[in-house]
Structure 1
Amino acid sequence: MPLTQPDLVTLRAGCKINLHLEITGVREDGYHELDTLFFPLPKPFDIITISKGAAGSGLLLDCPGLSIPPEKNIMYKCWEKYCAATDWKPDLEISVEKGIPDGAGLGGGSSDAAVMLNYLNKYCPKNALSPESLNALAATIGADVPFFLNNIPAHATGIGDRLKPSDVSLSGYFLVLICPDVSISTPWAFAAWDKAMLTDRMSDNKKEILTTTTSKDRKHSSRALWLFNSFEVVVYSAFPKLRAYKDKLMAFGAEGAVMSGSGSSIFALYREMEQAASAATALEADGVATYIHHL
């Protein structure tokens, strides 16, 4: 029995970090093969308000935090694809208050898309999609979208779309997430990585991107927690102040620190709240948006 669609609902779309992100190859179609570990965080978050629209109005989308036409928004794409898959075309008015910065590597757009798909599937009066079909549809919208549908830690391969739940635990850690006022384009980051590989700069700088405090056995296949990001060497070369922020996080006694996604956000793990609070205060003094999570 389908649920009755509410007149108005307000939802939160959280974010994600990548505990590790390794680019393992490039496919013939140009997409990059990844090995990454997604971990959800409740903040920063976007606030999505969805209400019933006037009959025949279609989707009216207001997202002042992004300077793109509504028809180019990933949520509009979700609505179009879901309508095509189920023959249900609800008239909706949606307002998005952005709290997740764009170009930060936190998956804000993908998170919004997953909230949209879950909403549509929850209230679809007939032909609602199975979890497998919804996941497949999500993968056609964005590589990170399937992860956000379930929003639990997951190991991802392929282009980030082949997911397996992970039992990774950060229990007891204090996580400091910083969001510098720098927007990094993911296509630019991949192109910069490709160029670095061609010029063989990556091998010369490998030691600069290893980010845990010990030097032994960093591979995630043999470590419960392995902090690494293939993008760091190229992003830090282009944005040296991001490397300086990471160094500052480490200086306050972090167990490790690493960039999320293609940047520009960086997170650090601390054993003690006092360390985390001191690091957050120092970064806030630099004008950097900062969030503390007790995991």
Structure 2
Amino acid sequence: MSFTQPASVTLHAGCKINLHLEITGVRENGYHELDTLFFPLPSPFDTITISKGATGSGLLLECPALSIPPEKNIIYKSWKKYSDATGWKPDLAITVEKGIPDGAGLGGGSSDAAIILNYLNKYCPNNALSPERLNTLAASIGADVPFFLNNVPAHATGIGDILEPSTISLSGYSLVLICPDISISTPWAFAEWDKTMRSTSASNNKKEILTTTPSKDRKHSSRALWLFNSFEVVVYSAFPKLRAYKEKLMSFGAEGAVMSGSGSSIFALYRETEQAARAATALEAEGVATYLHHL
């Protein structure tokens, strides 16, 4: 069922954190097997304004914060793949105001893509995609995109595209998310992790980590708040300032702190609101972009 397409609409694309992220193997094609728990957050967010375009204009995309050609943008890719799949190629003018930092491990691009796909599927006059087909299309755009289609906590395996809803609740916690002014390339982080695993002298450990054979426990159902990130070992070696930020967050009494995605953002969980507020104030005083959430 389609809805009447509005002349203009402004939407907020929120971000995600990874409560845990474990690289469990490497496929023959080089893609990495993951076991991760996605958790959505409302901020930081990107602001996306979608307006009807002039007839025949196609997609006019404006994103001043990213110095790349519009056709290289994940939003353009989403619009193009959706139109190829359904035959509906709406004329749109889209403006993106970035609030989610690039290279922070918060899934900003994937979140934008999901916003566009959901918009297109909502207003598609004919041939709107089923949830299953939309999910498949989303996965072809980016591994994190399917998660953002529903934007609820989810356990992910495969390359991050096999999703199961999670009942995890962080109710009662306060969460401090920091976004240092450091951009980390995800391909670089994977390459460094591969290099580290290949160079380790513990051959048995290497065989266990670089295998596609699943271990006995990959859902971590008994340790839902197991805060862990396989990328930390390589990212903190290259960016020791990030390790110092994590230690500072812990010093204010956090239950735990961990990097999200391939970095550079870090979050910490606090049982006491006052502790979280003090931590947020301290990091803000150092000039670090900080977001305080009461969950």
**TM-score band, normalised by the shorter chain?**
over 0.9
Give the aligned partner of residue 184 of structure 2: 184
Summarize deviations over 1:87-108 as a string: whole Å, max 9, x none.
0010000000000000000000
Could you tell me which runs of 5 or more consecutive residues in structure 2 were left unpaired when the two chains were aligned. 204-218
The one-letter amino acid paired with 1:287 is G
Q: 1:202 to 1:126 in 2, by over 3 A?
A: farther
TM-score by length of 1: 0.94
Is 1:127 aligned with 2:127? yes
Q: 1:251 to 1:124 in 2, by over 3 A?
A: same
In structure 1, distance between residues paired with 2:144 and 2:201: 28
Summarize deviations over 1:117-172 as a string: whole Å, max 9, x none.
00000000000000000000000000000000000000000000000000011010
Written as runs of structure 1 = structure 2, the 5 A alignment for 1:154-173 is: 154-173=154-173
In structure 2, distance between residues paired with 1:232 and 1:35: 15
Secondary structure in structure 2 of the residue aligned to 1:224: coil
The one-letter amino acid paired with 1:200 is T
In structure 1, distance between residues paired with 2:271 and 2:202: 31
The one-letter amino acid paired with 2:231 is F
In structure 1, distance between residues paired with 2:122 and 2:282: 43
Deviation at 1:250, TM superposition (A): 0.2
TM-score by length of 2: 0.94
Give the aligned partner of residue 212 of structure 2: none
Could you tell me which runs of 5 or more consecutive residues in structure 1 were left unpaired when the two chains were aligned. 204-218
Give the aligned partner of residue 277 of structure 1: 277
In structure 2, distance between residues paired with 1:64 and 1:26: 36
Deviation at 1:220, TM superposition (A): 2.5
Greater displacement, 276-285 / 155-164: 276-285
Q: Size of the alignment, in residue pairs?
A: 282
In structure 2, distance between residues paired with 1:9 and 1:44: 19
Whether the 8 Å CA contact 1:32–1:159 is kept in 2: the answer is: yes
In structure 2, distance between residues paired with 1:11 and 1:69: 22
In structure 1, distance between residues paired with 2:166 and 2:249: 26
In structure 2, distance between residues paired with 1:196 and 1:18: 22
Is 1:107 aligned with 2:107? yes
Q: 1:73 to 1:202 in 2, by over 3 A?
A: farther
In structure 1, distance between residues paired with 2:93 and 2:224: 44
Q: What is the Cα-based RMSD across aligned positions, in Å?
A: 1.5
